[in-house]
Chain A
Amino acid sequence: MTVAATPAPSPATAGEQSGVRLARSRRNAELYLLLLAMVLVAAYGATVEANLLDTVTSDFWMPAAALGAVFLGLHLVIRFLAPFADPALLPAVALLNGLGVGFLRRIDLGDAPVAERESLAVFAGQGGRQLAWTLGAVILAAGLLAIMRDHRSISRYAYTLGLAGIVLVMIPAVLPSSISEINGAKLWVRVGSFSIQPGEFAKLALLVFFAYYLVRKREVLSLASRRFLGIDFPRGRDLGPVVGVWLISVLVLVFEKDLGTSLLYFGMFVVTLYIATERVSWLLIGLVLFFGGAYLAYVLGSTVGGPFANFYVRAEIWLDPFADPTNKGYQLVQGLLALGTGGLFGAGPGGGQPEILPEVQNDFIFAGIGEEIGLFGLSALLVVYLLIVERGLRAALAVRDSFGKLLAGGLAFTLGLQVFVIVGGISKLIPLTGQTTPFLSAGGSSLMANWLLIAVLLRVSDGARRPVTGGGGGKAARPSGGPPEQLHGAPTEVIKP
């Protein structure tokens, strides 16, 4: 891979030369990376057309150009509103989002009869809808960047957001199944042909609340403890909040019949707790509680049934998908076969048969893409996810205030956990659950929520990397960074120890 690494420095060098300030803010590097990402999306579109249409139409570049224009707009917003934000976040997310749009268009092309494929409008079908959702999501992200000039300002609405988050989580659970249930999981609110997934937004709201709550409580949670087996365990009465969140996530599991969402909420809380207290015991307690709960649900599902039955069925499919390959295990088996068919280098974009896979535009998009780009390409996509998460954690390390640390760390981890839950699900590492693949899957709720998440990460990383002293470009945008007050001759008295 040294061959691929060689051209790497060239785009960044140009950014470095255009002055000290730009080299620090790294906005030009971001722009070049963004252009490279869009070139990739266009190349993907061209390869798909070459495979499916046997020719490359003259407007293959149009989805990439439209996406490029949208992301360029966000880039400009970042340039003015968050000039010191991390340069790698936007291009990496843009690439995933662009490939998602490209793959959805590829499904549209594959579904159309061969004769009509060439005349299929560029902005039609699922691909076109996803493009429109991207536009909406990016506008939302830009709006959040514009409203939230300092990430600490959202801590003021922590309790409101916490309440809103719980309400959003509960809405699908209390609604009748006819409105909220799709494929066995009650995660949706359907109005006509339009459906939203409130849980995606609840994730963000709850995390803001967790971060705020733990900043307030962290001393109690980390100081008062008993030592057992070389690990500091918290006192019984301090276990209240973690048990409360565990109960909520079990209720989600029972009433919304979705292990993934439940795992996501619980993991989010435990990891923020760990970041706040630096106590490994919280991770152990969390893992034991979660696996205990999941096992209990499995046992109850096999004996009692009822609300646990769905989970039991999914776990059974996971344990042996080939027991019933044409019915229950069909989706997972087809996903595994798709990944297997892809092999190392894949069948080439447009060369696979994603239309066989049920839900290939949502849950199984990773398997669908995997069939065409192979292990080699999938690992590149996973590394892109990894880089996004790494930049988020990096921002968390660099930012000064504890609220920002918890917020950015928690958000980055949540994104990573969601990728783990769905990719683990389709590759049969864990029981399959209906999570969306961030930025790739079709659907507005997931796209919007994840872009909002990225906007928060951009804001925190801007706060972390912004030089406080020495003016620069950022001074005007930050009212809180005023001049340090003079404390000459402040009264101090000495007590000799």
Chain B
Amino acid sequence: MPELVITVARFGFLILLWIFVFTVVGVIRRDLFAGARSGRLVAAPRAVGASTGQAAKPAKVKRGRAAHQLVVTAGQLAGTKITLGEAQITIGRAEDSTLVITDDYASARHARLVPREGQWYVEDLGSTNGTYLDRAKVSGPTPVPLGVPIRIGRTSLELRP
């Protein structure tokens, strides 16, 4: 084997190794990017009343979401942020809740946030003191617009893009 071939093979292997590393990083990066893009796709119609607007939405945004974060704005957990995915968020004092709140006025299973067709709905789970969307009491699944406070006891939550 000529010396040149061996040298080329030796450095070629190292370069290939790093190409692999960067390709993996590329896949991971695209992975994160894909989520951000689908978010932008559905963020536009946020001003439209969600309950009326959702029927007209095209099928491709079906799994998207307008809101990306659930932020606790008041109460003991103020400042806590939950990144929203496609799973429902349960709120309550029970330790298996997604957001465990230690609020005297909260029930063990107080409320939950459910994404449906790109829109988040808040549902009261039979709590003692009720769940409020801004000032209105939540009785059935209610669409939650961005930036409108959901009040549970002394805790207040908001959806953020």
Quick check: is A61 within 8 A (CB to CB) of the other chain?
Answer: no
Report which of A8, A16, A373, A376 forms a contact with B19, defined as CB distance below 8 A: A8
CA separation between A256 and B23, bound complex, in Å? 42
CA separation between A215 and B97, bound complex, in Å? 12
Q: A7-B19, A469-B116, A470-B86 are in contact. Are A391 and B10 (CB under 8 A)?
A: no
Closest to A348 in B: B10
Tell me, rounded to whole Å, the shortest Cβ–Cβ distance linking B16 to chain A: 5
Report which of A4, A44, A223, A470 forms a contact with B22, defined as CB distance below 8 A: A4
Q: Verify B95–A384 contact, CB threshold 8 A.
A: no
Q: Which residues of chain B in 55-82 are interfacial with respect to chain A, using CB atoms and an 8 Å cutoff?
A: 60, 62-63
CA separation between A12 and B30, bound complex, in Å? 8
Tell me, rounded to whole Å, the shortest Cβ–Cβ distance linking B26 to chain A: 4
Q: Verify A37–B20 contact, CB threshold 8 A.
A: yes
Report which of A216, A400, A468, A492 forms a contact with B137, defined as CB distance below 8 A: A492
CA separation between A250 and B154, bound complex, in Å? 47
Q: Verify A47–B10 contact, CB threshold 8 A.
A: yes
Q: How many residues of B contact A (CB 8 A)?
A: 60
CA separation between A316 and B128, bound complex, in Å? 65
Tell me, rounded to whole Å, the shortest Cβ–Cβ distance linking B62 to chain A: 5
Q: Please choose the segment from A49-57, A122-130, A163-171 that sits at the chain B interface, where 4 or more of its residues have CB less than 8 A away.
A: A49-57
Report which of A40, A50, A351, A470 forms a contact with B20, defined as CB distance below 8 A: A40
Quick check: is A476 within 8 A (CB to CB) of the other chain?
Answer: no
Q: Verify B63–A470 contact, CB threshold 8 A.
A: yes
Q: A50-B6, A491-B126 are in contact. Are A402 and B18 (CB under 8 A)?
A: no
Main secondary structure of the interface of A (DSSP, over half): helix
Q: Verify B22–A8 contact, CB threshold 8 A.
A: yes
Q: A468-B88, A495-B129 are in contact. Are A47 and B13 (CB under 8 A)?
A: yes
Chain A residues with Cβ below 8 Å from B24 are 33, 88, 91-92, 384, 387
Q: Which residues of chain B in 15-35 are interfacial with respect to chain A, using CB atoms and an 8 Å cutoff?
A: 15-28, 30-31, 34
CA separation between A493 and B128, bound complex, in Å? 6
CA separation between A91 and B19, bound complex, in Å? 13
Closest to B12 in A: A43
Report which of B6, B21, B130 forms a contact with A348, defined as CB distance below 8 A: B6
Q: Which residues of chain B in 108-123 are interfacial with respect to chain A, using CB atoms and an 8 Å cutoff?
A: 114-117, 123
Closest to B19 in A: A4
Give 1 or 0 for each of A452-479: 1 = CB within 8 Å of chain B CB.
0000000000001011111010000000
Quick check: is B53 within 8 A (CB to CB) of the other chain?
Answer: no
Q: Verify A467–B12 contact, CB threshold 8 A.
A: no
Closest to B98 in A: A400
Q: How many residues of A contact B (CB 8 A)?
A: 76
CA separation between A40 and B16, bound complex, in Å? 7
Q: Verify B14–A380 contact, CB threshold 8 A.
A: yes
Q: Verify A492–B26 contact, CB threshold 8 A.
A: no
Closest to A10 in B: B23
Q: Verify B26–A12 contact, CB threshold 8 A.
A: yes
CA separation between A8 and B83, bound complex, in Å? 28
Q: Verify A380–B10 contact, CB threshold 8 A.
A: no
Give 1 or 0 for each of A1-26: 1 = CB within 8 Å of chain B CB.
10011011101100010001001101
Interface centre among A9, A398, A470, A493 (most CB of B within 10 A): A470
Q: A468-B86, A470-B63, A488-B140 are in contact. Are A36 and B23 (CB under 8 A)?
A: yes
CA separation between A346 and B131, bound complex, in Å? 65
CA separation between A29 and B1, bound complex, in Å? 36
Chain B residues with Cβ below 8 Å from A285 are none
Chain A residues with Cβ below 8 Å from B105 are 495, 497
Quick check: is B158 within 8 A (CB to CB) of the other chain?
Answer: no
Q: Verify B23–A402 contact, CB threshold 8 A.
A: no
Tell me, rounded to whole Å, the shortest Cβ–Cβ distance linking A103 to chain B: 12
CA separation between A29 and B26, bound complex, in Å? 10
Quick check: is B48 within 8 A (CB to CB) of the other chain?
Answer: no
Chain B residues with Cβ below 8 Å from A7 are 19, 23
CA separation between A494 and B137, bound complex, in Å? 9
CA separation between A230 and B64, bound complex, in Å? 42
Q: Verify A373–B21 contact, CB threshold 8 A.
A: no
Report which of A5, A40, A43, A376 forms a contact with B26, defined as CB distance below 8 A: A5
Q: A43-B12, A376-B14, A387-B21 are in contact. Are A487 and B130 (CB under 8 A)?
A: no
Q: Verify B115–A469 contact, CB threshold 8 A.
A: yes
Closest to A463 in B: B87
Report which of B13, B30, B116 forms a contact with A43, defined as CB distance below 8 A: B13
Q: Verify B124–A398 contact, CB threshold 8 A.
A: no
Give 1 or 0 for each of A73-94: 1 = CB within 8 Å of chain B CB.
0000000000000011001100
Closest to A377 in B: B14
Closest to A9 in B: B26
Quick check: is A489 within 8 A (CB to CB) of the other chain?
Answer: yes
CA separation between A20 and B85, bound complex, in Å? 17
Q: Verify A391–B28 contact, CB threshold 8 A.
A: yes
CA separation between A243 and B151, bound complex, in Å? 41
Q: A55-B1, A494-B137 are in contact. Are A8 and B17 (CB under 8 A)?
A: no
Quick check: is A315 within 8 A (CB to CB) of the other chain?
Answer: no
Report which of A384, A391, A494 forms a contact with B21, defined as CB distance below 8 A: A384
Quick check: is A39 within 8 A (CB to CB) of the other chain?
Answer: yes
Q: Verify B13–A349 contact, CB threshold 8 A.
A: yes
Closest to B128 in A: A493
Quick check: is B127 within 8 A (CB to CB) of the other chain?
Answer: yes
CA separation between A61 and B21, bound complex, in Å? 22
Quick check: is B51 within 8 A (CB to CB) of the other chain?
Answer: no
Q: A43-B9, A43-B13 are in contact. Are A383 and B21 (CB under 8 A)?
A: yes
CA separation between A88 and B10, bound complex, in Å? 26
Q: Verify B10–A87 contact, CB threshold 8 A.
A: no
> What are the 3 A-B residue pairs with the smallest beta carbon separation, nearest first?
A348-B10, A8-B26, A467-B86
Interchain Cβ contacts under 8 Å between A and B, 13 examples = A26-B27, A29-B30, A43-B12, A46-B9, A373-B17, A380-B14, A384-B20, A468-B88, A470-B62, A489-B139, A492-B126, A492-B130, A495-B105
- List residues of chain B with CB under 8 Å of any chain A CB: 1, 5-7, 9-28, 30-31, 34, 60, 62-63, 83, 85-88, 95-96, 98, 100, 102, 105, 114-117, 123-131, 137, 139-141, 153-154
